Structure 1
Amino acid sequence: FQEQLMQMAIDVAGFTAAEADQLRQAMGSKRSRQRMERLRERLYEGMTERGITGEIADRIFEKMAAFANFGFPESHSVSFAYLVYASSWIKLHEPAAFCAALLNAQPMGFYSPHTLVQDARRHGVVVHTPDLNASEAAATLEPCEESHHGVAVRLGLGSVRHIGTDLADAIAAGRPYTDMEDFTRRTGATLPVLEALATAGAFGCFEDVAGHALARRSALWAAGAVAQSRPERLSGVVVGVDAPSLPGMSLAEEANADLWATGVSPDGHPTRFVRPHLDELGVVTAAGLVDVDHGSRVLVGGVVTHRQRPATASGTTFLNLEDETGLVNVICSKGCWARYRRVARGAPALLIRGRVEKVEGVINVVAEKLEAMPVGGSLRSRDFR
């Protein structure tokens, strides 16, 4: 838009590139009308030299001046609209690629990696945890019959705690590894790195003494032993690698382990494991709000993903709660926030009683009472950004 107007000034008035840039700045200024008036004489002189006079010259200038009043926001709106359209198309037709791309672009945007993965899961995309011999440094795609369009997301090694980009690249370049000791000797991985990978289940590609996939607790047991192995020491002399028979992790424990190690739990949202208790309390899920009438009072609960208080909202705070079925928009008035301020600011998960508000297809819950909701796992909300 602005570039087109700059080219018009060059073509019809003989503007130089520098003068055209001054025109661009005038169009983007809060005082664009005054700045455009200052350029008027130069525009008319240039148009006269090229035989453009009278009513035609006036109409050209009027259109330029009028465009300066809305051209800057219009160009931005078109740019953002195009991004929204392209993103929506990719999310609809290639949801796995869309999810992987956003994960690889972190840190960014409004939503955390966990929320992005949960949304992908709700749309049929299978997301796999990191695997030492299957994962690249970043999130990738791999075939999976159970996933939407037969494509799943594999989390990258760089998503694991204590592993930065350089180490993740080095680990991926050294694949395949035969066992934990081989991995440690070749990469120089420290004990914290080994424990983080074990907690994330990344050593599941190896086998234990019974020939089964190496469980997380067994890998954690072995981490302390193999951490002593180094290239300058003889291989195969480390003792205490083979763990005794240990109970496997429950689904809830695995979800908590995933959240600690990667910040993402592909197979288990924290609210999923307390849903029976929430059902007893009468908590309505995010998906269930669709069937609740406007004006009804409900109890909702979930992990807090955002707390926002725009400067133009007159003290109103907006929260997002997430459960295993989706997101809940919560509107908290200035008075309600003040009444429950401590729990509202500090609790990682909340139970909120309030009134359902449905306007033009958007569902909100206007909060009346807030209380902490105990859940497993550790998710950090993105507050007041």
Structure 2
Amino acid sequence: MATLPRLKPREFYDLVVEVALIRPGPIQGGAVHPYLRRRRGDEKPTAPHELLEKALSRTLGVPLFQEQVMQMAIAAANFSAAEADQLRRAMGSKRSTEKMLALRRRLMSGMAANKITGELAEDIYNKLEAFSSYGFPESHSISFAYLVYASSYLKRYYPAAFTTALLNNQPMGFYSPASLISDARRHDVAIRGVDANASRYKAALEPPTPQETAAYRRTHPHSSPHPQPAIRLGFASVRDLGAKAAERAAAERDEHGPYRGLEDFVRRTALPRAALEALATAGAFGCFGLTRREALWRAGSLAGTTEAHLPGTSGAERAPALPPMTAVEQTFADLWATGTSPDSHPIAHVRAELDATDHTRIADLDDLPDRRLVRVAGIVTHRQRPPTAGGVCFLSLEDETGLVNIVCSPAVWAKYQRVGLAHGALRITGHLERSDGRGGALNIVAGRLAPLRVAAQPGNLRGRDFR
């Protein structure tokens, strides 16, 4: 793997600042939009007062880091170093708001001594107080920025390895395994399902087939320029299996050779019926020439078979003629068994209906103008209502082409809250909102929420709520 390229100092520091900007402290202190306007050159980068120029010069006149708050208190209010440290500790404590209020009189009197009074003094105090709601030290921002850069680089150039590492360290992060796999597939990484004779304990990388390599060379602009291995899902991803049983299934095969058939698998692993049926539902026994329904029927008959039983006496070989699962049934079988679908997305199965009713694919939103009224539909992957957002609820909506952020105002959320919480898939009608022109962050400001039927049980489509 190539060495991580070095960013120019200015580029890296811009990333450091962007990490700090998204903390509640700078948001509540009104620092975000002024900083962005100043960085674009739309606004002159001046500090609120000349005494604060030195402390705020490197962040274009707006406070973004805890250290700057300490420097501002020293410069504008004649705080001693000890008092500034007391301010820092107040900002970091669980009762920081109350402690900040106790320091208000000292701050205001110190600023008055420097002829900083009235609205200006209140504005400076409000900026300082905002940091009691989580402002970052600069050192934290630098560490986070490096993690962001390294992760972005790996995701851009080595998406298969990056996705596999995330899958193997669940639960973690913002995105579910289903979203991680969908994103990798959208970037032309081949995903292979659980296989009794190929899967490891956890997800693993496998050499791509010539067909997969050829397909990857026809990538869209955001895919890696490097050919990618395929991702094979592991036994650990299957429900009702458990870590020890998943490890045993992989270790038994590695030690004594491939499984010769479903009965051989059952004898050698001694897995219970629920685990066998989950593996069959996930398609893990396709390597034995069995469809999923055939494997389910035989798994039920073979459950409990051990080395003490005579081979071929279970009756499982005399399976009735069973129709194979449809594409829709297979997708939801994957979701039930592993929480992911290696080769499809639930919304893809209703795309014809959505196209006929003027629903825009999420990937196509980038081509539409700001404020355009749109209709989109997808799986709700997250619901968030942060305390700093004034009652606004944010939904993450995913279809087979991508993800988009949905902004629900307090009034809209109050009206559609029951729909938004009760359904795992939604139709959204709203207006596009771009934060920074074409190419900037894109949201949909919702005006209406309606359920979308995708023939799934609610448990298949559960989002991560209010974290």
Give, as a single letter, the amino acid of the residue that structure 1 aligns with 2:175. Answer: Y
Would you say the 8 A contact 2:195–2:285 is kept in 1? yes
1:170 aligns to 2:230 (yes or no): no
Distance 1:26 1:174 in 2: 60
Q: Structure 2 vs 1, CA of residues 280 and 73 (structure 1 numbering), >3 Å: closer, same or farther?
A: same
What is residue 288 of structure 1 aligned with on the other side? 364
What is residue 188 of structure 2 aligned with on the other side? 124
What is residue 21 of structure 1 aligned with on the other side? none
Distance 1:240 1:112 in 2: 37
What is residue 30 of structure 1 aligned with on the other side? 90
Distance 2:275 2:361 in 1: 37
1:312 aligns to 2:388 (yes or no): yes
Would you say the 8 A contact 1:95–1:120 is kept in 2? yes
| Alpha-carbon offset, residue 72 of structure 1 | 6.6
Question: Residue 320 of structure 2: which of 237, 244, 247 is its match?
Answer: 244
Cα shift readout 1:194-224 (whole Å, capped 9, x = no counterpart) = 1100000000111xxxxxx211111011011
Cα shift readout 1:214-267 (whole Å, capped 9, x = no counterpart) = 111110110111114123322322113342332211211111110000000111
| Alpha-carbon offset, residue 172 of structure 1 | 0.2
Question: Residue 187 of structure 1: which of 253, 258, 269 is its match?
Answer: 269
Distance 2:275 2:405 in 1: 38
| Alpha-carbon offset, residue 293 of structure 1 | 1.2
Pairs within 5 Å for 1:1-385: 29-30=89-90, 73-145=137-209, 146-147=212-213, 148=216, 149-175=227-253, 176-206=258-288, 213-360=289-436, 361-377=440-456, 378-385=460-467
Cα shift readout 1:102-156 (whole Å, capped 9, x = no counterpart) = 0001001110000000000011100100001100010000001315514000000
- Where structure 1 has 5 or more consecutive residues not aligned to the other structure, the ranges are 1-24, 33-70, 207-212
Would you say the 8 A contact 2:383–2:395 is kept in 1? yes
What SS is found at the alignment partner of 1:181? Answer: helix
Would you say the 8 A contact 1:226–1:241 is kept in 2? no
Cα shift readout 1:258-290 (whole Å, capped 9, x = no counterpart) = 000000011111110000111111101111111
More moved, 138-147 vs 267-276: 138-147
Give, as a single letter, the amino acid of the residue that structure 2 aligns with 1:205. Answer: C
- Where structure 2 has 5 or more consecutive residues not aligned to the other structure, the ranges are 1-84, 93-134, 217-226
Distance 1:310 1:31 in 2: 19
Distance 1:77 1:307 in 2: 26
What SS is found at the alignment partner of 1:194? Answer: helix
Q: Structure 2 vs 1, CA of residues 336 and 324 (structure 1 numbering), >3 Å: closer, same or farther?
A: same
Give, as a single letter, the amino acid of the residue that structure 1 aligns with 2:189. Answer: V
What SS is found at the alignment partner of 1:178? Answer: coil
Q: Report sequence identity in percent.
A: 53
What is residue 15 of structure 1 aligned with on the other side? none
Q: Structure 2 vs 1, CA of residues 121 and 31 (structure 1 numbering), >3 Å: closer, same or farther?
A: closer
What SS is found at the alignment partner of 2:285? Answer: helix
Distance 2:300 2:235 in 1: 20
Q: Structure 2 vs 1, CA of residues 238 and 364 (structure 1 numbering), >3 Å: closer, same or farther?
A: same
| Alpha-carbon offset, residue 27 of structure 1 | 10
Give, as a single letter, the amino acid of the residue that structure 1 aligns with 2:461. Answer: L
Between the two proteins, the alignment pairs up a number of residues equal to 320
Would you say the 8 A contact 2:159–2:228 is kept in 1? no
What SS is found at the alignment partner of 1:192? Answer: helix
